[in-house]
Amino acid sequence: MGGSSNRIDDFSGVIDLESVVPRRVSPPPARGFFQALRQSLREVFFPDDPLYQFRGQTSFRKLVLALQYLFPIFQWGSQYSFSLLKSDVISGLTIASLAIPQGISYAKLANLPPIIGLYSSFVPPLVYAALGSSRDLAVGPVSIASLVMGSMLREAVSPEEPALHLQLAFTATLFAGVFQAFLGLMRLGFVLDFLSKPALIGFMGGSAIVVSLQQLKGLLGISHFTTKMGLLPVMESVLEHKPEWHWPTIAMSFSFLGFLFAARHIGLRWPKLFWVSAAAPLASVVLSTLLVYLFEAQKRGVQTIGHLQGGMNPSSVSKLLLHGQYLALAVKTGLVTGFLSLTEGIAVGRTFASLKNYQIDGNKEMMAIGLMNMAGSCTSCYVGRELQRRLENGGVEYSDGGAVLGTMLFLLPLFRCTPNAVLSAIIVAAVVGLVDARAAARLWRVDKLDFLACLSAFLGVLFFSVQTGLAVAVGISVSRILMHVTRPNTAELGSIPGTQSFQNLVHCGETRRVPSCLILGIESPILFANSTYLQERIMRWVREEEERVSTTKDYSTKCVILDLGAVTAIDSSGIEALTELKEALEKRSLLLLLANPLGAVTEKLYRSDAVELLWKNSLFLTLADAIAVAVSGHWPPTRG
Amino acid sequence: MGGSSNRIDDFSGVIDLESVVPRRVSPPPARGFFQALRQSLREVFFPDDPLYQFRGQTSFRKLVLALQYLFPIFQWGSQYSFSLLKSDVISGLTIASLAIPQGISYAKLANLPPIIGLYSSFVPPLVYAALGSSRDLAVGPVSIASLVMGSMLREAVSPEEPALHLQLAFTATLFAGVFQAFLGLMRLGFVLDFLSKPALIGFMGGSAIVVSLQQLKGLLGISHFTTKMGLLPVMESVLEHKPEWHWPTIAMSFSFLGFLFAARHIGLRWPKLFWVSAAAPLASVVLSTLLVYLFEAQKRGVQTIGHLQGGMNPSSVSKLLLHGQYLALAVKTGLVTGFLSLTEGIAVGRTFASLKNYQIDGNKEMMAIGLMNMAGSCTSCYVGRELQRRLENGGVEYSDGGAVLGTMLFLLPLFRCTPNAVLSAIIVAAVVGLVDARAAARLWRVDKLDFLACLSAFLGVLFFSVQTGLAVAVGISVSRILMHVTRPNTAELGSIPGTQSFQNLVHCGETRRVPSCLILGIESPILFANSTYLQERIMRWVREEEERVSTTKDYSTKCVILDLGAVTAIDSSGIEALTELKEALEKRSLLLLLANPLGAVTEKLYRSDAVELLWKNSLFLTLADAIAVAVSGHWPPTRG
């Protein structure tokens, strides 16, 4: 062909084709069906290869490792020393001083008797200490799960039936535990990833405000309060009951709120003074109880907790409702609260692990939390999760448990005079840190869609319900992934002169168009959800290229080359779409060549019939190979 | 650095770094927020650029184009000729001979009076003729939507209330139309893509079998029949009522079934004899009616349609139930049947369009179908969709409508003696083609996951219900996409000696490992759903590489390079994960460099704070650039 050498000259300034010996793509090494299945199952369920320590060890060592794997207590138990015990006692007392008032407050949030909160701060930590692998977490009830449990149960059961409410709470805890342990055992921990962090930020912020709004009852000393959770009904109810506002209570509320916020600020500002913010809640409780007792403020209308039954966790096995009309409600509540308590717990654990450079097996952790909740549901506890422990030393939760036990056995009668207002103030001070406006602002700057997910979750919780917010958050997170696949980006590529590299023609100023070739980068897998779109979009690129050529009198287009470098997968619809595209382009006398396929795509193309018929001669290792073949007249190659 | 030149020598056989002048990535041209928003909205909603014809036209021409766009009748109306009319009349009569018996049969499938099926074959085609853009489709009721509507309504309304049933069918049709038109108007047609083709194959196959099973009542002449749809209850009911089997009916059923299958086979085998299979249903009806009439078979227990009220479509506006307890049911039924009738209709339309090389605007098509159903719901019709028209000439549906109208006005009384058995046989012959075992086998060969989706949808329809099957099909399709993103592929890359190209080390035999560099290809967007996974997976690659190095005494690893060529997007969680990864690797004295980013990723990295602090000096245009910098000791570059 006389024209072909002439044509190559036109490319000299654009792309260096001299040294190119066009290479086709050879099929990847064949794998059997079961081998492929085994490999992909391993990647899905055991990506972190959790058993790698076991490889090449003796049987005895394997047994020791297995015991340590299942019960981490064996790992640190042998290294435990007196000095560790001492620091553990100190850290345990500090944690307990947080756990006792928070336990009582959160139980109120879940519409449960305050003692349940204390029970829940006692048994679960002991279970977790033996099973859990994170050394930096404390365990106990938590605000959002408490709120959700309370609101979900209250929707179906009137507050006049406290016994039924309690039974349902234990049953829901059991199902939360079963669900968590099941997820862990089946290594399905990745479902938690579908609640994206931006959505979580919005969700937590909204929940914190909803929780705080509920505290207006205690803070203002109102006796009649709405059972609804949304911003509007609560504000309406608060303003409607303005005559009930009890000014002495309000004065006390806000002074203690001020004290707690000041302590929190000190703890954040000077990390060494963390104990100030940790001790503030208990100090508030003690101080306010003393004040009420001394001034007999109860008689002046300040609401207090009232009589509390002391003692250790009684068994609650007989209270589990495993049949009957409320079973479905208990299961649903268990699933939602179990999911919620995991989501945040695992995230916090991972952050600590990455800070201190040790690895957390999320799935194992879930099993530990699940077993903890299952044990809890039989010992009068409700859904708990890991709580962040901000102290520097690791260790056991036992001393924490000891302090809580002491409280339950001996100090409970003293809480009789503790004012509700202070408990509310403690909750508000505890949850306000969850409203993270700075993180939301950062999202707006980096990624508008992330910000949208965050905002929707926030507003969903605030104006509708916590469950709605959760559903919105998961929905937006998931549809973002779907949208990304359904409407993938396509870009026209040009070569960087003097190299064999190609870049986006619009983004990269150095690039030059390759004459008579339309090079398109497809930036997504080609799946059923986008195969039609991609077909139409590529035809539009071709139409626009033809318009450009006829306007600028450029070389007429001979060839469309798809860069598959970012096509991470292809399914049967995708192969069909490419085949249809090839036929449609051939009707316009255009070649369709494919270049730069990844392994998985090559494998799939070779396995279908299509490659034999259509693609064998059109699939190239790199873009330069495809261009060299397309412009030098080597195409179509002779058979033989 | 004395060692650096020595080091480069080691690379001579592996990668050609001599000519590399390391290039960093410059940020893409800045776009404002609203410009970016506008561009991405356009890509999402107007990917096919439907208004491109309008650009640069005069106002008058724009008006004409707009009219033709909204009412395609103006486009072909002006070119209509006598010869086109003639061929249209012939094709219309052929279609009508299919539409009349199928219309009656499908109405029975939906538990509606047979006349509704005829009404539905008359008005909708007229509306579609004016609005629809596909010239190769006929319009009428369809088996699966009929079945689903019948079964969904029967779940809530007992068959003893035919009037209510009819009202609900019209109301559901209205909502189906509203839903379809809404999707089209909002240009949300892509939601249909979430029902993948493999899932659709399984769903259609299962539905066809369920529809055929329902016909056993007619075919066997049973009078008591279950109202359930699943395979097991139907077979149980059929065997239980064996004493009711009516052998004369069975004999007639199977002879006509044989005739219809033979005609179908002829039509498929010799496309020129298509009219044989098209005329067979009407011929069966006429023949069987004559037989029953002549031999007075009714008196011998052969069930017939019975008396039919003739006449034109009455208005059914007053029958629409727009409030009350059944509204939710009607809306739900409308959504499901509307979605179903669109899914297949659009797919068929697109296949025709790509065969004949014209383009179909799916969203416009949906508006046409939606308006058609809305008009239908007011004129005693129920949900219809486009039906495939296998004839070669294009044209109007009017002559089809004419034949149906004639039937309704004059011929209906004659159907009195038509045996139910023959109607059942017509349905079975019509739906059996939907069971596509060959396509399923192809799926198994190409893509096991596609096959799994197909099989699950099939079994879901067969053993549970049509809605379950639909949910399973959509669920599997969507979770496949999610799974692909959640567990992305990562691969170790090596260079192809003598080039600057890189390929999978395992798949491509020619590749060689680059000394002291671990090059990883990340084959997916880095989003919240996989950022934790990728972090852990990359750390595992690093651990395994260190093990390999210590076993083989290879050059120790200095540098981890991530090839972002297939990373099509990154969100805030992804950036955070990369940053954490960089810190974790630095603790192990390893560099982390990024290469080959796509435009969208570069843009996002530059917009976050991270790039300033961490990435500016670690982001390279190609892998070769990154390697050259990493091994030549230029890193970290001096500030200036």
Contact predicate B317/B374, CB 8 Å: no
- Quote the pLDDT of residue B385: 57
How far, in Å, CA of A545 to CA of A541, rounded?
6
- The shortest CB-CB distance from A487 to any of B29, B44, B508 is to B44
pLDDT in tens, B235-293: 888 888 888 888 888 888 999 999 989 988 888 888 777 777 777 888 888 888 888 88
How far, in Å, CA of A341 to CA of A192, rounded?
11
Band of pLDDT at residue B1, cut at 50, 70 and 90: very low
- ipTM score over 0.90, yes or no: no
User: Collapsing DSSP states into helix, strand and coil, what is residue B561?
Assistant: strand
- Closest chain A residue to B356, measured at CA: A584
| CA angle B581–B584–B587, rounded 5-degree value | 150
Strand partners, A491: A521
Average pLDDT over residues A307-335: 80
| pLDDT at position B19 over 80 | no
What's the token pair of residue A57? 């060890």
- Closest chain A residue to B189, measured at CA: A533
Average pLDDT over residues B61-72: 77
**Better pLDDT: A377 or A51:** A377
The pLDDT > 70 percentage for chain A reads: 79
- Quote the pLDDT of residue B599: 80
Q: Is B635 left (phi over 0), alpha (psi -120 to 50) or beta?
A: beta
Domains annotated for chain A, with CATH where assigned, are 85-482 (no CATH), 488-631 (3.30.750.24)
- Quick one: CA torsion of B588, B591, B597, B599, rounded to 10 degrees? 100
- The shortest CB-CB distance from B48 to any of A486, A523, A536 is to A536
User: Considering only CB atoms, which chain A residues are within 8 Å of B539?
Assistant: 359
- Quick one: CA torsion of A557, A562, A563, A568, rounded to 10 degrees? 170
Contact predicate B11/B17, CB 8 Å: yes
CB pairs under 8 A between A and B: 237
Mean pLDDT, all residues of chain B: 78
- Quote the pLDDT of residue B543: 87
- Closest chain B residue to A611, measured at CA: B446
- Quote the pLDDT of residue A459: 92
- The shortest CB-CB distance from B580 to any of A47, A354, A508 is to A354
- Residue A636: cis peptide before it, omega within 30 degrees of 0: yes
| pLDDT at position B317 over 70 | yes
| pLDDT at position A329 over 50 | yes
Of A489-493, A596-600, B387-391, the one with minimum mean pLDDT is B387-391
**Better pLDDT: A514 or B159:** A514
Q: How far apart are the first and last CA of chain B?
A: 20
Residue B224, φ and ψ in degrees, nearest 5 = -100, 125
Of A144-158, B61-75, B109-123, B517-531, the one with minimum mean pLDDT is B61-75
User: Considering only CB atoms, which chain A residues are within 8 Å of B487?
Assistant: 43-44, 47, 190
- Closest chain B residue to A582, measured at CA: B354
* DSSP assignment of A83-108: HHHHHHHHHHHHHHHHHHHHHHHHHH
Average pLDDT over residues A7-29: 59
Band of pLDDT at residue A138, cut at 50, 70 and 90: low
Q: Across the interface, do A599 and B43 touch by the CB < 8 Å criterion?
A: no
Of A97-106, A254-263, A537-546, B612-621, the one with minimum mean pLDDT is B612-621
- Quote the pLDDT of residue A518: 92
- Please identify which residue in the block is written with the tokens 């709004």: A213
- Quote the pLDDT of residue B401: 58
**Better pLDDT: B398 or A228:** A228
Interface test with B, best of A38, A522, A571 (most B CBs within 10 A): A571
Q: Of the ranges A70-74, B335-339, B602-606, which is most confident? A: B335-339
Band of pLDDT at residue A626, cut at 50, 70 and 90: confident
- Quote the pLDDT of residue B479: 82
| pLDDT at position B452 over 80 | yes
Of A9-13, A414-418, A607-611, B35-39, the one with minimum mean pLDDT is A9-13
Strand partners, A211: none
| pLDDT at position A388 over 90 | no
User: Collapsing DSSP states into helix, strand and coil, what is residue A392?
Assistant: coil
Band of pLDDT at residue A507, cut at 50, 70 and 90: confident
User: Considering only CB atoms, which chain A residues are within 8 Å of B575?
Assistant: 446
What's the token pair of residue A431? 């949850």
* DSSP assignment of A483-499: HHHHS-EEEEEEEPTTS
How far, in Å, CA of A184 to CA of A369, rounded?
9
| pLDDT at position B166 over 50 | yes
Q: Which amino acid is at B96?
A: A
Band of pLDDT at residue B297, cut at 50, 70 and 90: confident
**Better pLDDT: A162 or A564:** A564
> How far is C-alpha A125 from the chain's CA centre?
24
What's the token pair of residue A226? 């709405």
| pLDDT at position A152 over 70 | yes
Average pLDDT over residues A474-502: 82
Q: Across the interface, do A598 and B504 touch by the CB < 8 Å criterion?
A: yes
- Closest chain B residue to A491, measured at CA: B599
How far, in Å, CA of B147 to CA of B354, rounded?
30
- Quote the pLDDT of residue B560: 92
What's the token pair of residue B269? 């085998």
> What is the three-state SS of A323-389?
CCCCHHHHHHHHHHHHHHHHHHHHHHHHHHHHHHCCCCCHHHHHHHHHHHHHHHHCCCCCCEEEEEC
- Quote the pLDDT of residue B22: 64
Half-sphere exposure in the Cβ direction for B579 (13 Å, CA): 18
The pLDDT > 90 percentage for chain A reads: 4
How far, in Å, CA of A375 to CA of B11, rounded?
60
- Quote the pLDDT of residue A639: 41
- Quote the pLDDT of residue A436: 84
pLDDT in tens, A184-241: 888 777 777 777 778 888 888 888 888 888 888 888 888 777 777 788 888 888 888 8
Contact predicate B499/B543, CB 8 Å: no
Biggest CA pair distance of chain B = 109
b/e per residue, B257-294, with b = 16+ CB within 10 A?
A: bebbbebbeebeeeeeebbbbbbbbbbbbeebbebbee
- Quote the pLDDT of residue A4: 38
Q: How far apart are the first and last CA of chain A?
A: 20
Q: Of the ranges A224-228, B17-21, B471-475, which is most confident? A: B471-475
**Better pLDDT: B430 or B79:** B430
- Quote the pLDDT of residue B178: 92
How far, in Å, CA of B282 to CA of B426, rounded?
9
| pLDDT at position A623 over 60 | yes
User: Collapsing DSSP states into helix, strand and coil, what is residue B246?
Assistant: coil
How far, in Å, CA of A472 to CA of A3, rounded?
61
The pLDDT > 90 percentage for chain B reads: 4
**Better pLDDT: B498 or B624:** B624
User: Considering only CB atoms, which chain B residues are within 8 Å of A446?
Assistant: 572, 575, 604, 607-608
